[in-house]
Chain A
Amino acid sequence: MSDWALIIYCGLITYLTRFFMIALLKKEMFNDKAREILSYVPSAIFPAIIFPAIFLDDFGVFQFEDNPKILAAAIAMIIGILSKNIIATIFTGLASYWFLIFVV
């Protein structure tokens, strides 16, 4: 598949997931159970991006020792839980990471 075909397919599926419910749903077609399960989608999917990006190196090898990303992410998470602030979470994480790799 060419790069452009891939991009268009990905765009199409992204758009359709946005359009589907808006266009087809007539008020209460969705039961509470389905709604509740769908509310867990972010919690189910984002860790699949977060964890490997923190714990694995560029070659997919598990890195536990000598890995500043773990500590930086933990600090970001604590600040996130305490502040409930998206921006504070990201900046604390980046600042701790830079501190760990450039200063320590």
Chain B
Amino acid sequence: MNSNFKIFLKGITDVSPLMIPVVPFGLIFGILSIDIGFSPLATMGMSLIIFGGASQIILLQLFSGGASSLVIISSVGAVNSRHLLYGAVVSEHVSDLKLIWKIIISYFLIDQAFAVSNEYFKKYKEKNKYFHLIGGGFTCWVVWQTTTFLGIILGAAIPEKLGLSFAIPLTFLAILVNDFRKFINVIVIIVSGLVATFGYNYIPYKAYVIVAAFTGLFVAMVLTKVIKKI
């Protein structure tokens, strides 16, 4: 059996390639947050307390659009519902652990760490394999905090003309890359995107993210049913 530290290190090496897009993402978050009017302390606070790129960007986008707190919080909740899936998958591997470890692991259960550790968990049966997820999550934590901090500092120096905010939709687009090959996913993507774009100005309270997501999921539900019958 590998030592805890060895597995922790393996988590770091496995997740590292996925950290490259996190760098511009963190920088952009820091820059935008200051730009919108949050203090440097509040910006750092978001990265420490929320520690989730998509949640933080949604927060900024809706906040700057004048959405109410309730809409912002529920949109963040909707964005995060994917973690329920991650948790469900990971829980099979950590169900015997003490509560304190579950509390720690939950903080590090982020997209990138989940993606690599899920593969690792499937392959290895060691009892201490959860250190892989902590290694991956910790790496992302360090990168996220550092780049947020750099974004806050560099904010003023990076010209707006560069259009770095375009990296945000690109990052999310890149996360979906594998889904473009699956029929139901493509339909869901198009439906959700169209609802959000055309509902942006008409759906009240800036709830377009929530409405689009639920419409997309509903379509997915219907399609999986219909396709199975055929």
Q: Is the interface of A mostly helix, strand, loop or mixed?
A: helix
Q: How far is the CB of A71 from chain B (nearest CB, A)?
A: 12
Q: Is the interface of B mostly helix, strand, loop or mixed?
A: helix
Tell me if B208 counts as interface (CB < 8 A to partner A): yes
Chain A residues lying within 8 Å of B5, measured Cβ to Cβ, are: none
Do A45 and B192 touch across chains, with their CB atoms under 8 A apart?
Answer: yes
Name the interface residues of B134-185: CB closer than 8 Å to any CB of A: 162-163, 165-181, 184-185
Do A93 and B90 touch across chains, with their CB atoms under 8 A apart?
Answer: no
Do A77 and B193 touch across chains, with their CB atoms under 8 A apart?
Answer: no
Do B94 and A76 touch across chains, with their CB atoms under 8 A apart?
Answer: no
Interface size on B, residues (CB 8 A): 94
Chain B residues lying within 8 Å of A11, measured Cβ to Cβ, are: 46, 49-51
In Å, the complex CA distance between A5 and B20 comes to: 31
Minimum CB distance partner of B78 in chain A: A45
Tell me if A66 counts as interface (CB < 8 A to partner B): no
Minimum CB distance partner of A54 in chain B: B169
Name the interface residues of B56-104: CB closer than 8 Å to any CB of A: 56-59, 61, 63, 65, 69, 72-73, 76-88, 90-92, 94-95, 99, 102-103
Do A87 and B94 touch across chains, with their CB atoms under 8 A apart?
Answer: no
Name the interface residues of A1-22: CB closer than 8 Å to any CB of B: 1, 3-11, 13-15, 17-22
- Among B45, B84, B171, B189, which residue has its beta carbon within 8 angstroms of that of A20? B84
Contact flag A72-B84 (CB < 8 Å), given A22-B90, A37-B217 = no
In Å, the complex CA distance between A89 and B167 comes to: 10
In Å, the complex CA distance between A43 and B180 comes to: 9
Contact flag A40-B176 (CB < 8 Å), given A22-B90, A35-B85, A47-B190 = no
Contact flag A76-B106 (CB < 8 Å), given A13-B77, A19-B87 = no
Q: How far is the CB of B115 from chain A (nearest CB, A)?
A: 10
Chain A residues lying within 8 Å of B63, measured Cβ to Cβ, are: 6
Contact flag A49-B168 (CB < 8 Å), given A18-B106, A81-B180 = yes
Chain B residues lying within 8 Å of A80, measured Cβ to Cβ, are: 173-174, 177, 180
Minimum CB distance partner of A13 in chain B: B77
In Å, the complex CA distance between A76 and B168 comes to: 13
Chain B residues lying within 8 Å of A76, measured Cβ to Cβ, are: 170, 173-174
Chain B residues lying within 8 Å of A54, measured Cβ to Cβ, are: 169
Of all A-B residue pairs in the complex, the 6 with the closest CB atoms, nearest first, are A21-B87, A44-B216, A51-B193, A11-B49, A47-B193, A48-B212
- 8 CB < 8 A contacts A-B: A11-B46, A13-B73, A17-B81, A43-B192, A53-B165, A72-B166, A76-B173, A90-B24
Residues of A within 8 A of B (CB): 1, 3-11, 13-15, 17-23, 25-27, 30, 35-56, 60, 62, 69, 72-73, 76-77, 80-81, 84-87, 89-90, 93-94, 97-98, 101
